[in-house]
Structure 1
Amino acid sequence: MTKYTLREAALELLTRIGEQGGFSHVLLDREISKQKLSRQDGALLTEIVYGTLQRRDLIDFYIQPYIAKQKKIKPWVRWLLYMSVYQMTFLERVPDHAIIHEAVEISKKRGHKGISSFINGVLRNVQRKGVQSLEKIEDPVERLIIETSHPKWLVDRWVKQYGVDTTKAMCEANNHHLPLSLRVQPLRITRKDAMNQLRKDGFKVEESVLSPQGFIVLEGAVLAHPLFHEGYLTVQDQSSMLVAEMMDLQEKMKVLDACSAPGGKTTHMAEKMSDRGEVIAYDLHEKKAKLVSKKAEQLQLTSITANQADSRELSEKHPTGSFDRILLDAPCSGLGVLRGKPDIKYHKKEEDIFTLRKIQDELLNEVAPLLKSNGKLVYSTCTVDQHENEEAVQHFLNKHPDFEVDETFFKELPEPLQNGTGISDKGLQLFPHEWDTDGFFLTRFIKK
């Protein structure tokens, strides 16, 4: 793939994601495998798409003086400007003149002479005069909104919940690359052996402090490695690994995973029980339930059964008190995973949080009776919003006096987390800037 067609692909993806609401990670993966991109080209395409999305509003602010007179700009033209200015401002590998030349050539191919002259004019202005300064924005919160390209409603909400400093740290972290973390299948390989093998093959890796099965890849495109393809390793964020670690699992337990796709936590739970328990997994979509089965097969785990179902109706499938452990990794706003899915911050609205909370409450109400006495239920989300986390926990406890937050949960947390800022009497909130993970919440209830 030439650099020219690579940037055309980037423009196509950005326009689709930005205008039609496509999922960035899905479309990117699809494009990389469809074009059979080399490691280097795949990395550059990812960098341009993610970087432009992450900093869209900042770039828009930067070029305002040069586009203000233009009445109507077509979406693809705007995205071509955004991605070109992103490369000129944040990437050092490609000289400005090459970026401008390619942008003009792409615009000639897609539009008319007027458009290519406009693009050439804007980009030459950026090259000669630079971009406008953020210093002119006096209000620090308003400046943060523009500088980190986060919607106003979201920043205002986080400031109210966590204060300006934590909000600033979260917003800044969301614009930085999330390191890839992997989990070993411990019935097939030890973490030490996997890491040694990867180091020998030139990868830079380090242990995760959040799971004895986890490690972080600091350098190298590990997903092409045989260990990955042969089912010794699986991709999972460290925050997500913490879930199975905190389920307090033993062999021969019967476990329910109520919202299981794509299967990272499901398979981890099976591994924690040495594949000698029973994990019943459900997902609302049949296609996604099949992904869970595929993941189990890939990791050679036989104790998992995955099926399609709405987990708000599971009492029709299982009698009261059926399970020793239940995991509800609830559908949520996803505001903790903006580093890997930057498009979420532009597509989500504040009202989505309240709609999702209703579903979270319904799911908790439905699965609670399926737990045995003295059984444990872990509730987790990949968001940092208190309405979906601490407030959901309090609401559940108010409605279910036979449940309480399990005090031993806090003592079992990995030592570095025990004195962290995210601990409350409701559970643990992981922030993206503190542990270089996704933003993530989890807690554990015990049934009296």
Structure 2
Amino acid sequence: MAKYVLRESALHLLTRIGEQGGYSHVLLDQEMNKRSLSNKDGALLTEIVYGTLQNKRKIEFQIQLYIAKQKKIKPWVKWLLYMSVYQMLYLERVPDHAVIHEAVEISKTRGHKGIASFMNGVLRNVQRKGVQDPSTIDNKVERLAIETSHPTWLVSRWVEQYGWELTAGMCTQNLKRLPMSVRIQPLRISRAEAMAELKERGITGKESVLSSQGLLIEEGRIIDDRLLTEGYLTVQDQSSMLVAEMMDLKPGLTVLDACSAPGGKTTHIAEKMEDQGSVIAYDLHDKKAKLVDDKAMLLQLQSIEAKQADSRRLHELHKNESFNRILLDAPCSGLGVMRGKPDIKYHKNESDIIALRNIQDELLDSVAPLLQVGGKLVYSTCTVDRHENEQAVEHFLQQHPEFEIDPAFAGSLPEELQDSVGHTEFGLQLFPQQWDTDGFFLTRMVKKH
């Protein structure tokens, strides 16, 4: 694929994501499939799109002096500037002259001579004079926010909740690419067998300490490997794998997964139960419930039944005390998965967190009666906000005295996590810098009476 066309693709994606709120990971996958990109071109396209999104706010600050006099810049011109500056500052293998030439050519094709001249002038200034340094900003919260390209309100909120050191570590880690991790289907292959077969194809990894089924891929391209495409492995972050590991599962249980799509945790539950018992999986959207069915079929799991429903109304479909275990992997702000979905940080605000918490409370209240006495409820999110996590659990326990945090929860965590800084009386908060995972929260409650 010609580099010019590749950069046109990157610009198209960035403009859609940045201006229309498209999901970076979804649009990038669609573009790569549509164009049948080689591994090398796919890697460069991914690098440009994710790298530009991850560093957008810093780049804006860095080139401020060169665009300040421009009254209005069209969205595509702005994103072409950002992605070109990203390549010049952060991608050593791409020569500046090539980046500038292609940006000017794209400007001519999409716009006119004036835009091309503006593009050339800004990028030549960046090349000759360098850029503005964020380290000169006096306010340390603002400085951290710009240096790591996070919204200032979010950095300020995290500092208030977790202190400076944890926040700075989290913001810095969010700029680093999330390593690929996969989970074996243990009814079909062992971890040792999977590692040995992958090694034959130049794909190496190491065992996860957070899940007995987890593998961290260190080298090689696994995304189109037969073990993945034929259902011997499934892609899942380590933090997400911890959920089924902590559900205290065994064969023969009846389990509710209240918010199940796309099915990573659902299928892990079935695997932990040796595909014996019943896993009833719901999602609000029919299309997403079908994704769960598709994943179960690929992994050759028979115990999963996926359906469409609003889980706030499951009492209309199931009698009270119908389930031995319930997983509520709640809809959340997603502030823990910004490494893989960097656009999240620009599309969320504090009001979203409040609105989502209302849904989380409703879901917890709705599924609680469906759990048997002695049964266990796991609540999880892929966010790092106390309001959605510890405070949601604390509120639930106040409203439902029949529940308590499972006294065995802390002791059943992997040994490496038992003294974690994120471990509180209400659950476990994983920060991305701790285990090179997504930011993630989970807890386990038991119904006493």
Cα distance, 1:164 vs structure 2 = 1.1
Q: Quote the offset at 1:419 in angstroms.
A: 1.1
Contiguous gaps of at least 5 residues in structure 2: none
Note if 1:391 corresponds to 2:397.
Answer: no
Secondary structure class of the residue paired with 1:314: helix
Structure 2: distance between partners of 1:135 and 1:253: 56
Deviation at 1:396, TM superposition (A): 0.3
1:246 equivalent in alignment to 2:246: yes
Match of residue 432 from structure 1: 432
TM superposition shift of 1:340? 0.4
Matched residue, 2:285: 285
Question: C-alpha separation between the residues in 2 aligned to 1:43 and 1:136?
Answer: 34
TM-score, normalising length: structure 2: 0.99
Name the counterpart of 1:26: 26
Q: CA deviation at 1:204?
A: 2.1
Distance in 2 of aligned mates of 1:351 and 1:133? 32
Distance 1:344 1:129 in 2: 32
Counterpart for residue 209 of structure 1: 209
Q: Secondary structure at the match of 1:52?
A: helix
Q: Distance in 1 between matches of 2:309 and 2:136?
A: 53
| Paired letter, 1:258 | A
Q: Determine if the alignment matches structure 1 residue 413 to structure 2 residue 440.
A: no
Residue 186 (structure 1) aligns with = 186
Q: Deviations over 1:363-399 (max 9, x none)?
A: 0000000000100000000000000000000000000
* Whole-angstrom CA distance in 2 between matches of 1:344 and 1:365: 28
The question of 1:116 aligning with 2:90 is answered no
Could you tell me how far apart the structure 2 residues matched to 1:407 and 1:384 are?
23
**Structure 1 residue 135 displacement after superposition:** 2.8
Q: Does 1:350 align with 2:380?
A: no
Q: Whole-Å Cα distance in 1 between the matches of residues 260 and 151 of structure 2? A: 30
Residue 133 of structure 1: how far off its partner (Å): 1.5
SS of match in other structure, 1:224: coil
Runs of 4+ in 1 over 3 A off after TM superposition: none
Equivalent pairs counted in the alignment come to: 448
Matched, 1:126 2:126: yes
Q: State the superposition RMSD in angstroms.
A: 0.6
Q: How does 1:35-434 map onto structure 2 within 5 Å?
A: 35-434=35-434
The one-letter amino acid paired with 1:119 is M
SS in 2 for 1:131: coil
Q: Partners of 1:297 and 1:117 in 2: how far apart?
A: 55
User: 3-state SS of the aligned residue for 1:437?
Assistant: coil
With 220-229 and 24-33 compared, the bigger mean Cα shift is at 220-229
Note the C-alpha offset of 1:138. Answer: 1.5
5+ residue gaps, structure 1, are none
- Distance (Å, rounded) in 2 between the aligned partners of 1:35 and 1:103: 21
Which letter maps to 1:314? L
Matching residue's letter, 1:362: E
Work out the CA distance in 2 between the residues paired with 1:226 and 1:176: 28
3-state SS of 1:327 partner? strand
| Separation in structure 2 between the aligned mates of residue 110 and residue 395 of structure 1, nearest angstrom | 54
How far apart, CA to CA, are the structure 2 residues paired with 1:372 and 1:23? 38
Identity %: 70
Letter aligned with residue 232 of structure 2? Y
- Residues 47-79 of structure 1: per-residue CA shift (max 9 Å, x gap): 000000000010011111111111111010010
